[in-house]
């Protein structure tokens, strides 16, 4: 299982939100590149980079930060937040992302996401399947839907999606443990899908339990920044 550290960006700085609430923001580092280099130095190989400004404004904003990190590290970067047009996607790939996460667009403009899947291939596109009470949430989690997360994932697996990041919004940033049932249910519904867990990781015990489930990866954010887990502890999963 890959350990995938997260850097969330607002105004070009590394921050974390609680339950996706922009009013519950905590800034951790004004220099995201420094944070990314610490991850790489610890032996981690992947990075989940989220443009929270972009998610809110529905266009990519923090592409320069992506470009800086991609040019100064060898991290495999998946990028999300505000990627809602061909131009956005082109910019993100040109700036060095290896994968792009499409969440809002999968709900609001599914034909375009399908076109991207066809053009760039299933290795390049990650489905963002974030949910609150098992219903899909979009636009930086500010908008709820009536779409059941499992039906949503089923539909996109049928269209060729091979990777999905799923966050239980209710647990994100609270350090109270991941939504194990959500991931277990997704595994049962889509056994061939590479599932990346996100949200709620509070300690190494949570990570070990997810590893036992044989998920593709887990995104770890606040637990790192708050010192609940160390980079040395995390690096053993990528050896």
pLDDT 10s digits, 142-196: 666 789 999 999 999 999 999 999 988 876 656 678 999 999 999 999 999 999 9
Beta bridge partners of 128: 165
**Which of 88, 130, 168, 206 is labelled catalytic?**
130
21 catalytically annotated:
no
Would you list the DSSP string of 77-112?
A: EEEESS--SHHHHHHHHHTT-SEEEESHHHHH-HHH
Nearest to 142 by CA among 56, 13, 17: 56
Annotate 128-162 with b (16+ C-beta within 10 A) or e (fewer): bbbbbebebbbbbbeeeeebebbebbeebbeeebb
Say which residue the tokens 């995938």 belong to.
4
Q: Which CATH number fits domain 2-238: 3.20.20.70, 3.40.50.300, 3.30.1330.40, 3.40.50.2300?
A: 3.20.20.70
pLDDT 10s digits, 90-119: 999 999 999 999 988 998 899 999 999 999
Domain ranges of the chain: 2-238
41 catalytically annotated:
no
Distance (Å, whole) CA 104 – CA 88:
14
The predicted model scores a pTM of: 0.92
């Amino acid at each position: 299982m890959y350990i995938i550290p997260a850097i969330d960006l607002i105004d070009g700085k590394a921050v974390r939100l609680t339950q996706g609430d922009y009013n519950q923001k905590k800034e951790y580092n004004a220099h995201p590149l420094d944070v990314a280099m610490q991850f790489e130095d610890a032996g981690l190989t992947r990075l989940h980079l989220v443009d929270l400004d972009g998610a809110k404004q529905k266009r990519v904003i923090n592409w320069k930060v992506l470009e800086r990190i991609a040019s100064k590290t060898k991290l495999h970067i998946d990028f999300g937040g505000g990627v809602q047009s061909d131009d956005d996607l082109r910019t993100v790939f040109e700036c060095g992302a290896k994968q792009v996460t499409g969440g809002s667009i999968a709900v609001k403009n599914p034909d375009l996401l399908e076109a991207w899947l066809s053009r760039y291939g299933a290795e390049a596109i990650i489905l963002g399947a974030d949910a609150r009470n098992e219903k899909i949430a979009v636009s930086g989690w500010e908008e709820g839907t009536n779409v059941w997360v499992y039906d949503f994932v089923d539909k996109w697996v049928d269209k060729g999606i091979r990777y999905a990041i799923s966050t239980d919004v209710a647990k994100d940033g609270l350090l109270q443990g991941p939504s194990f049932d959500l991931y277990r249910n997704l595994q049962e519904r889509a056994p061939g899908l590479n599932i990346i867990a996100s949200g709620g990781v509070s300690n190494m015990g949570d990570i070990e339990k997810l590893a036992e489930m044989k998920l593709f990866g887990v995104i770890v954010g606040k637990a790192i920044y708050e010192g609940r887990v160390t980079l040395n502890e995390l690096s053993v999963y990528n050896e």
